[in-house]
Amino acid sequence: MTQRFTRRSVLRATAASTGIALLAGCSSSSGDGSGGAGDEGGDGDGSSDGEGTSEHEMRDFGGWFDRTGNYDGVHDLTGQDQVTVAVGAAGNGGGYAFAPAAVQVSSGTTVLWEWTGNGGTHNVVNREDGLFESELTVSEGHTFEYTFEESGEYKYVCVPHETLGMVGVVVVE
Q: Is 122 in the site for Cu ion (CB under 5 A)?
A: yes
What is the spatial order of strands in the sheet that 152-157 belongs to? Answer: 56-57, 74-76, 102-105, 167-172, 152-157
Give the residue, chosen from 161, 168, 170, 172, that forms a contact with Cu ion under the rule CB under 5 A: 161
170 binds Cu ion (CB under 5 A): no
Which range of residues in 2-10, 42-50, 78-86, 116-124 is near Cu ion by CB under 5 A?
A: 116-124
CA 156 to centroid of chain Cα atoms? 11
Strands, DSSP E only, in the chain?
Answer: 56-57, 74-76, 82-91, 94-99, 102-105, 109-115, 143-148, 152-157, 167-172
CA distance 74 to 96: 19
Q: Which stretch binds Cu ion (CB under 5 A): 15-23, 30-38, 98-106, 150-158?
A: 150-158
Q: With contact defined as beta carbons under 8 Å apart, do 60 and 68 qualify?
A: no
Return the residue of 97, 125, 158, 169 that touches Cu ion, per CB under 5 A: 158
How far is the C-alpha of 12 from the C-alpha of 169, rounded, in Å? 23
CB of 113 to Cu ion, least distance (A): 11
Q: Is 155 in the site for Cu ion (CB under 5 A)?
A: no
Stretch that binds Cu ion, among 21-29, 45-53, 108-116, 161-169 (CB under 5 A): 161-169
Judged by CB under 5 A, which of 86, 166, 170, 171 binds Cu ion? 166
Footprint of Cu ion on this chain (CB under 5 A)?
Answer: 122, 158, 161, 166
